[in-house]
Structure 1
Amino acid sequence: MKPKISPVSSLRFRDFRLLWFGLLVSRIGSEMQVVAVSWQTYLLTGSPVSLGLIGLSRFLPVLFFSLIGGIAADRYDRRKIMLVSQIAMACFSLILAFTTWQGTITTAIIYLMIAANSLAGVFDTPARQSIVPLLVPKNEFVNAISLNTTMWHTAIVLGPSIAGFAIASLGIGSVYFINAVTFLASIIALVLMQKGGRQTSTRSSFSLSAVTEGLRFVFRTPLILSSMLLDFFATFFSSATVLLPVFAKDILSIGPQGLGILYAAPSLGAITGGLIISSINRLHNQGKLIISSVLLYGLATFLFGFSRHFALSLLLLYLTGFGDVISTIIRNTIRQISTPDHLRGRMVSVNMIFFMGGPQLGEVEAGFLAAAIGTPASVSLGGLGTIIVTILIAYLVPKLRKYHGNEVIIS
């Protein structure tokens, strides 16, 4: 492994830099809202099942509309798609803020706004991920993807930490309003970008054949498909974060401030892992690295369920983030570089079903299982499930296990 000169080299490209900083600010607000939604839902219901339904609300739009969002990203200007999506998400946050201030907020309104926000994300995510290869040279892909992942987790560190104190001092409604305001950063960045968001002259049609073309590509590329399956099953079993309000309120007794810190801990680990990966020029034995990092993720989740000490819980959550981000960066790099530009949006939309389906359906499973056998047992059992599935996939798909990465990591 050979160190690079700079772990932030791709930020020297103007449009990527604008997008990166704009999304950082807006993601901080969005992650603040994640904490506010979970805390408010649990206060309204006192039920872990209601927390699980948050995940279901997020996933249903992905299941039914993600492939359409992928076609849109391949057909239209990706920058404009992101602009419309970001404006829509800001409006949904304002609705949550005003209904909370007026005292008319209900779980039905929360679930509806979560679903609406997810629907906007169905179009935003394929456009956002597919635009990156158009903003930086090919030899900067790994660095750009690592920086995007690090940015994402930086927001997850700062957002929940700020949210915990903001909820305690300003109230839940103010957190929703702050999130709406932070979208201005990404909106302004998108307006200022000089490059358009579409490189290819091929315009995909909104047709069944356009949908199936993306599906065929994924299912005929074993390395991409197996990485998606690994992501789905690992996150399905280890969706501990949805139950963090239960740990904060009933098990660790640390309140909303402590909840924000719990949410931030995995991303501190992810930032560490992301910075390490972004500083490396060439990664060898990437398949084994993916497998071992997911095993770490599952093991830390398993142990977290047994923890009754705040500091130990933070350490274990930190390790889940560290393991998860290494796997995520390698998998995203494989998919982006191995996919033709005219199919990138649809590839990302297929991946959204796996990437979001795993954790969101896992949240539903975790909520019901927690109600049946208890929250700690639900989390530990999920971690054990992740370990078993990871070993099984590594055994059944030797191409993933033996993958070295020479095809996608370009000096």
Structure 2
Amino acid sequence: MSPPTSPLQIADYRKFWLARFCTMLASTGMVVIIGYQVYDVARADYAMSIPTASFQLGLLGFAQFLPVFLLTPVAGVVADRVDRRKVAALAMILDVCVALGLGITTELGLRSLPVLFAFAVLHGVVRVFIGPAMSAIAPNVVPLNLIPRAIAFNSIAMQAGMIIGPAAYGFLFAVDQTVPYWTSAGMQVISTLSVLAISNLPPFSSEARDAHPVKQIVDGFRFVWHQRFLLGCITLDLFAVLLGGATALMPVFARDILNVGAEGLGQMRAAVAAGAALVALWLSFKPLERNVGVKMLLAVSIYGAMTVSFGFSRVFPLSLVCLALMGAADMISVFIRTSLVQLRTPDEVRGRVSAISGLAISASNELGEMQSGVAAALLGATGAVVFGGVGAIVITLFWAGLFPEIRRARTFEPLGA
């Protein structure tokens, strides 16, 4: 039998892809609705002003980041010591409970800021354990030479979920506020069954099983610290998105600036994912191979510029174009960083390194939402988004000098090549 030329020819990878797609659709769609409900409840039920309600979105981002910050090292070690399929499946089942809880409280009219924040924290806990386990599974089911293409297909699954989830959930929420949560529960059930059906994962080494968990955590951070290119990529994404993230303030733009409501909010979130998905589709057939460092720096700069443009836009179609270009630029950065993590990381530390990378992503997203909420309270929504976009460009220029390894990087070099 001839070796596979595409990850999709591998049955276990197809199961992984389906699980990745369904869990991303469930998670992103639910996050969008929670954010909109928090802002809507703050404005309608608590009679908060726009700046004060915007600050609640910042607090929501912090509430979701807190479990990520506290539990990420633990999740990484668990993914390197326990069957990754079972770790991911258990976390998905817990997310089913979160979705059902949100649906029931919404159906009974019990929604309030404390209730929404509590479920957001629980959802954050679930995401901590799903991320490292799922990220570490893919390299176990595809050959080394297919990993870059697998990463691109992984991104297609994620971005497709991020396109369909927010847009569909926005329409579903307009029909019935509980339906998005029932949908998330169903999607996570499918994800659980798919990931449990994956076979042929290699066994962990005796060293990985017997090592002290604290030592394993330290080893994971040490590995990233000594990989200068990897460290530069992760921290660049951390600080650029931390400043440049406009996601948290989308409910403000949807409700009070562009006046497009929950349906428009879903389209805005989907536009970011659509731009990313198109680039991911292109990369699945033609992965980046040369001058990867410079291309990543350029992509982050474009991301910042499009964030500024979105902040100034008052025309909904133009805003969608800016968001789509933001997603496309971010996808290039994600592809380069993820390829480095997978190709340069030994399997025995892959869960921990994936957790560290996930921590940086969550820090940039959730803490970025808090930063946006605070900035919006001080500068207004437009001022906060524009300030963040300019900050992302400045950070990129600074990182180009601080980490010359990024500028000089020409190709991906797998570990042991």
Q: TM-score surpassing 0.5?
A: yes
The answer on whether the counterparts of 2:292 and 2:412 sit within 8 Å (CA) in structure 1 is no
1:116 matched to 2:122: yes
The answer on whether the counterparts of 2:238 and 2:364 sit within 8 Å (CA) in structure 1 is yes
Counterpart pick for 1:37 among 9, 23, 34: 34
Give the gaps of 5 or more residues in structure 1.
Answer: 1-7
Q: In the alignment, what sits opposite 1:23?
A: 20
Q: In the alignment, what sits opposite 1:371?
A: 377
Counterpart pick for 1:218 among 214, 220, 224: 224
1:189 matched to 2:186: no
**Matches of 1:224 and 1:281, distance apart in 2:** 19
| 1:266-305 to 2 correspondences below 5 Å | 266-281=272-287, 283-305=289-311
Worse overlay, 385-394 or 282-291 = 282-291
Worse overlay, 345-354 or 267-276 = 345-354
Q: In the alignment, what sits opposite 1:107?
A: 113
Q: In the alignment, what sits opposite 1:10?
A: 7
Secondary structure of the corresponding residue to residue 124 of structure 2: helix
Q: In the alignment, what sits opposite 1:66?
A: 72
**Matches of 1:344 and 1:22, distance apart in 2:** 20
The answer on whether the counterparts of 2:205 and 2:348 sit within 8 Å (CA) in structure 1 is yes
Q: In the alignment, what sits opposite 1:4?
A: none
Q: In the alignment, what sits opposite 1:142?
A: 148
| 1:172-183 to 2 correspondences below 5 Å | 173-183=178-188
**Matches of 1:31 and 1:313, distance apart in 2:** 20
Q: 1:144 to 1:372 in 2, by over 3 A?
A: same
Q: In the alignment, what sits opposite 1:343?
A: 349
The answer on whether the counterparts of 2:29 and 2:165 sit within 8 Å (CA) in structure 1 is yes
The answer on whether the counterparts of 1:301 and 1:379 sit within 8 Å (CA) in structure 2 is yes
Give the gaps of 5 or more residues in structure 2.
Answer: 44-52
**Number of residue pairs matched by the alignment:** 404
Per-residue deviation at 1:344?
A: 0.6
What is the identity, as a one-letter code, of the residue corresponding to 1:21?
Answer: L
Offset from partner CA, 1:326-358 (integer Å, 9 cap, x none): 110111001111011111111112222211111
The answer on whether the counterparts of 2:297 and 2:396 sit within 8 Å (CA) in structure 1 is yes
The answer on whether the counterparts of 1:22 and 1:185 sit within 8 Å (CA) in structure 2 is yes
Offset from partner CA, 1:85-121 (integer Å, 9 cap, x none): 1101111111111011111122112112111121122
Q: In the alignment, what sits opposite 2:390?
A: 384
Offset from partner CA, 1:6-62 (integer Å, 9 cap, x none): xx9211111110110132123222222122101110111030011111211111111
Per-residue deviation at 1:299?
A: 0.4
Offset from partner CA, 1:355-411 (integer Å, 9 cap, x none): 111121111010011011110110011000000000100112111111011414999
Secondary structure of the corresponding residue to residue 187 of structure 2: helix
Q: In the alignment, what sits opposite 1:81?
A: 87
Q: In the alignment, what sits opposite 2:48?
A: none
Per-residue deviation at 1:198?
A: 4.2
Q: Structure 1 residue runs of 4+, over 6 Å off?
A: none
**Matches of 1:346 and 1:339, distance apart in 2:** 10
Percentage of matched positions with identical amino acids:
33
Per-residue deviation at 1:178?
A: 1.2
Secondary structure of the corresponding residue to residue 284 of structure 1: coil
**Matches of 1:409 and 1:263, distance apart in 2:** 36
Could you say what the CA RMSD is over the residues aligned between the two structures, in angstroms? 1.8
Q: In the alignment, what sits opposite 1:3?
A: none
**Matches of 1:405 and 1:186, distance apart in 2:** 34
Q: 1:198 to 1:371 in 2, by over 3 A?
A: farther
Secondary structure of the corresponding residue to residue 374 of structure 1: helix
The answer on whether the counterparts of 1:71 and 1:206 sit within 8 Å (CA) in structure 2 is no
What is the identity, as a one-letter code, of the residue corresponding to 1:361?
Answer: L
Offset from partner CA, 1:226-260 (integer Å, 9 cap, x none): 11110100110111011111101111111111111
Q: 1:22 to 1:406 in 2, by over 3 A?
A: closer
